[in-house]
Structure 1
Amino acid sequence: MVRIKQRYILFDILSPPSSEHWEAYSESRDSALLHLHQVSSSEISAKYLLQVIRQVLQDHYGDFGAGSAGISLVVKYFSPKTSTGIIRCGRQHLDMIVAVLALINRLGDKEVIMRCIHVSGTIKKCENVSIKRDKEDIIRMQRKRK
């Protein structure tokens, strides 16, 4: 018997600036990072994200895409504080799920950009990449303050 191979997708949710906040966004790269990476609203949870992903999967790939890719789809982790999460999907449906993440442009009443950061065969590697990215961002912000 062959085991089903899974892939883990590390993603984050970016909040693009509204028209009145473009000046603060364009000051520097660090201020742009601060404005893009915002705390997610309380209505966004792992369960809500899974519903949105499955709905977009249904809309763009139809019944076959939703049925084949949606079965193994699980949001393993989501942090509203960092707007970062990890999705598990089947290896054969990886490209479809990454495309669906790119197609999502609204969560609730807020416009968002969902970005795939890293793909791995183990959840541990995704966690390590997430921790490394967060440390680099913290160090960059601390240097800016000095």
Structure 2
Amino acid sequence: MVRVKRRYLCFEVVPNGGDHNLTTGYRKLDITERQVRDTVRQTIADIYGDYGLASVQLSFSLKRFNQTTRTGVLAIKRSVHTILLTALPFVKRINQLDCFLKSIHLSGTIRGCLKALAVHHNKQIVKLRGQLSKTTSSSLLSSVANQRLISDIESAHKDIETSLLVHRIAYQPSSSAATEDNIDG
């Protein structure tokens, strides 16, 4: 019997209006895993019709979604992963939240996606800490909330590192990723 080969897609939910920087605020999303999964399925049905929905229905699943970091991992059979990739940009709204889905990484293993999420979270932490250090003392209340946000992202990062250990992968963050983000930021 031939094994089923899958593709794993890391994504980020980005609300419209640029609300993912510290100056405008960064809030936890009020959407669930089920709403994300159902919205992506409905988008596939809208674009590809019954054929597209039937071809991905049994193999499509949402493996992980974190409301705080706004990241998740979708899994689908390798033979139909292009249907998912082409339908993803057409997601414009999830549970009355105007947003879009940004692809972070496509991998053949869940381990590869977890590594990519760990790198993505490291970049977010470095970026948010840089923004936090630039805030003035007059916005002390917002900096306390932002410190809480950074600790939430760090705890989600630790959860991913634990998952990597379960999958027997040693993750070692590269210092080049942190320095690249400081150059851009």
Who is 2:72 aligned against?
Answer: 85
The residue type equivalent to 1:13 in the other structure is V
2:11 aligns to what SS in structure 1?
A: strand
Q: For 1:67-100, what per-residue CA distance to the aligned partner results, in whole angstroms no more than 9, with x for missing partners?
A: 0112100000000111100000011111110122
Who is 1:131 aligned against?
Answer: 118
Do 1:6 and 1:91's aligned partners in 2 also have CA atoms closer than 8 Å?
A: yes
After superposition, the Cα gap between the structure-2 partners of 1:116 and 1:38, relative to the gap in structure 1 and judged at 3 Å, is farther
Do 2:29 and 2:70's aligned partners in 1 also have CA atoms closer than 8 Å?
A: yes
The residue type equivalent to 1:87 in the other structure is L
The residue type equivalent to 2:4 in the other structure is I
TM-score by length of 2: 0.65
Do 1:15 and 1:36's aligned partners in 2 also have CA atoms closer than 8 Å?
A: no
Hey, what's the Cα distance between the residues in 1 that align with 2:25 and 2:53? 30
Superposed displacement of residue 114, structure 1: 0.6
The equivalences for 1:14-25 within 5 A come to 14-17=14-17
RMSD: 2.0
1:13 aligns to what SS in structure 2?
A: strand
After superposition, the Cα gap between the structure-2 partners of 1:136 and 1:99, relative to the gap in structure 1 and judged at 3 Å, is same
TM-score by length of 1: 0.82
1:127 aligns to what SS in structure 2?
A: helix
Structure 1 unpaired stretches of 5+ = 18-24, 26-30
Hey, what's the Cα distance between the residues in 2 that align with 1:37 and 1:132? 20
Q: Bigger relative contact order, structure 1 or 2, given CA contacts below 8 A and separation 6+?
A: 1
Who is 2:169 aligned against?
Answer: none
Q: Does 1:66 align with 2:53?
A: yes
The total of aligned residue pairs comes to 132
Who is 1:40 aligned against?
Answer: 29
Structure 2 unpaired stretches of 5+ = 135-185
Hey, what's the Cα distance between the residues in 2 that align with 1:143 and 1:56? 37
After superposition, the Cα gap between the structure-2 partners of 1:138 and 1:48, relative to the gap in structure 1 and judged at 3 Å, is same
Work out which of the residue numbers 49, 52, 56 in structure 1 matches 2:43: 56
